[in-house]
Amino acid sequence: MNKTELIASVAESTGVSKKVAADVVNATFDSIKAELAKKEKVQLIGFGTFEAKKRPARTGFNPRTGEKVKIASMYAPTFKAGKALKTEVNKRKRAAKKA
């Protein structure tokens, strides 16, 4: 599912127009991005937690030349699925295996 399909799904399940659904989906993503930019967690009970985690500086290499390259430390967005989401995914996985 891509963003356009997500918007269509939200519009269909809520009975609102695609324009309204797009505004809601975009506002949700913008809010999550803003909190992560402030290094804050976004915890959605039953779904999961978005967090910006610091990755330390490290030494990598250029695969083309084999030359060592210094990679600066940075923050990377991460997502940890909640228990309810994991349960739902595994329940559907088991149902698909049986079919």
Q: What is the DSSP letter of 53?
A: E
| The domain made up of 3-98 is a member of CATH 4.10.520.10 | yes
Tell me the C-alpha distance between 3 and 14, whole Å: 16
Predicted confidence at residue 19, as pLDDT, reads 97
Sequence ranges of the domains in the chain: 3-98
pLDDT at 18 over 80: yes
pLDDT at 15 over 90: yes
Residue-averaged pLDDT of the chain: 93
Please tell me the number of Cα atoms within 13 Å of 42 on its side-chain side: 17
Q: What is the DSSP letter of 60?
A: E
Mean pLDDT, residues 18-40 taken together: 97
| Entry pTM | 0.78
Q: In one letter, which amino acid is 36?
A: L
Tell me the C-alpha distance between 21 and 6, whole Å: 9
pLDDT at 99 over 70: no
